[in-house]
Amino acid sequence: MTNPLLSDWTGRFALPPFAAIRDDDFAPAFDAALAEARANIAAIAGNAAAASFANTIEALELAEGALDRVGGVFFNLAGADSTPAREALQRDLAPKLSAFASEVTMNRPLFARIEALWQARDSLGLTPEQMRVLTLYRRMFVRAGAELHGAAADRLTAVKSRLAVLGTTFSQNLLAEERDWMMPLAEADLEGLPDFVVASAKAAAEERGLSGHVVTLNRSLIVPFLQFSPRRELRETAYAAWVARGANGNDHDNRDIAAEILRLRAERAQLLGYASFAAYKLEPEMAKTPGSVRDLLMRVWAPARARAGADAAVLTDLMHADGINGELEAWDWRYYAEKRRRAEHDLDEAALKPYLSLDAMIGAAFDVAGRLFGLEFTALEGPFSHPDVRGWEVTRKGRHMAVFLGDYFARGSKRSGAWCSAIRGQRKLGGEERPIVVNVCNFAKPSAGEPALLSYDDARTLFHEFGHALHQMLSDVTYGFISGTSVARDFVELPSQLYEHWLEVPEVLQTHARHTVTGAPMPQDMLERLLAAGTYDQGFATVEYLASALVDLAFHEGAAPADPMALQAQVLADLGMPKAIRMRHATPNFAHVFSGDGYSSGYYSYMWSEVMDADAFAAFEEAGDAFDPETAARLERFILSAGGSQEADALYTAFRGRMPGVEPLLKGRGLLEPA
């Protein structure tokens, strides 16, 4: 039988034939795709004709088409719906794909052709986009070790292969820890929990084939449990399991893996001539140097820590009023912060959530995209990769722009967190290809027949990931190498974090936040209280984030630590980390940093981008309209459609006229002292 992964996808929008694909199809499909890619690379490198942009760079752009197609399906499935077979194949593929990548970047005849083009670049008559693509290809090859020889080149290949294996293992260990742990709740343990938390705990038990209720390590369940459960001993048990992921001394312990990853990253940087892995990693980013990252983070740390300290004193008083003596602990913070929020803002999440259904917030995100960019969304029938996945065609004035897939509910086979990926990216070379974009979240799944209700933080997550999706959907470049989110890591979060601002535009919630039972709009006083509480508990949120970002930087800024956990403890002690706040991601479960190189030495990038997103939304405010057409057109032209066609600071300056300072960020987080 023909392998469906390798045949032409002739269905509507050339979607993968999900219903026909079996796990057994992936290994032979990868083998065939790798063989085809190797043959294409060999033909490019061995071409007797002199190097040209068309026969070298454009040929490289198309050389791995089959591999991109197979990988686009497999890695989306592996992250969102793992099976033992998929996990085993992931472990097998990690060194194979790393070896192939090294073969390409260490191919001397191929690099010689790229270098010849680089040396002659001013005489080639290239368009600005082509010049940018040539520049990035050469930079990628050099940073991958193309200029190394002999033992150094061989060692770099081995290091990268081992890092690929370790990153996969780290991720799979974390998934296993999250999948295996649960805490059954007796009937008495449900006391004080809102209906939506009880329903989520029941649905979590049903997913595991159990009756009753359980708490799992899914963030959309454990966080509200910590917010609302009056049972302090249960909060402590749940919190301890959450922060101990990857550090339980079992077969899934990630501490030694993290240490080896850091050693190999330091060696990789040294082989390439850099003082540290952070220096290597940050060179192509907007920040450029570890020092500039640290400067930004520490400018925010002091006011955030001060705000968190003041908040801790208030929460401690609330705890003592409950008859609990002693110090506020990490498993107490969310519970008393929620009590304080209800008291000070008269904001009860249990009363709020019926107005924030998943369907309503999807509709809100679509409506904003329509008003800003003229996009329209039409539901599609599956089958898709999982029964929970929903699909839409995205059009503008009748033109097909993208297919958007939403996979919103938590399940044991899905890794934690939320992310945006693409099964197929946008490009024009070789024929117009429009993207297939996927948003993956981990919202608590309701019981059958019940609506899915989101917290306000969940709704922000949905808008955040949809902002990434827009970066893919609106991409309008010729070369896939620079399309969509193929930008500097500390720029990629700008579209996503900027899009969150529209959730705070009053008319968006006035239109879409409607009660799931009555259909009534959110009461005006509730809306005003919700928006007034926008900076509530930002001391806590900022401190837990900054602690993780500063530990990440410390891990990669100097020599690799012999004991990462000891360095983590030292960094936190030096910062004066508040006792009742922990890092958002402790080292053994810091998937951003250790499941791959993506955010390694780069977790700071959320805040770097936040400096820009606060300033970027101010452009709409200055225009007097959150949907100002002229500002939206500039945003699309210079940010969302441009991909990586220019350096990030040039793109931002083209949109805004200047680079921003840190003050809008501090204001947005409520960390500026009143004048």
Catalytic site positions? 465
Dihedral angle over CA of 65, 286, 604, 633, nearest 10 = -70
**Rounded to the nearest 5 degrees, what angle is found at the Cα of 160, between the Cα atoms of 156 and 166?**
145
Q: What distance in Å separates the CA atoms of residue 48 and residue 45, rounded to the nearest whole number?
A: 9
- Secondary structure string (H, E, C) spanning 261-275: HHHHHHHHHHHCCCC
Rounded to whole angstroms, the Cα distance separating 190 from 198 reads 7
- Direct distance between the N- and C-terminal alpha carbons of the chain, in angstroms, rounded to an integer: 73
Query: For 631-636, which contacts have Cβ atoms below 8 Å and span 24 or more sequence positions?
Result: 632/372, 632/373, 635/372, 635/498, 636/372, 636/373, 636/474
CB-based contacts of 657, cutoff 8 Å, min separation 6: none
The two structure tokens encoding residue 296:
């930004």
Q: Measured in whole angstroms, how far is the alpha carbon of residue 28 from the centre of its chain?
A: 30
How open is the CA angle 153-155-161, to the nearest 5 degrees?
105
What are the distances in angstroms from CA 603 to CA 282, 299, 305, 608?
Answer: 11, 16, 19, 9
The whole-angstrom separation of Cα 665 and Cα 100 is 42
**Residue that the structure tokens 């079996």 belong to:** 22
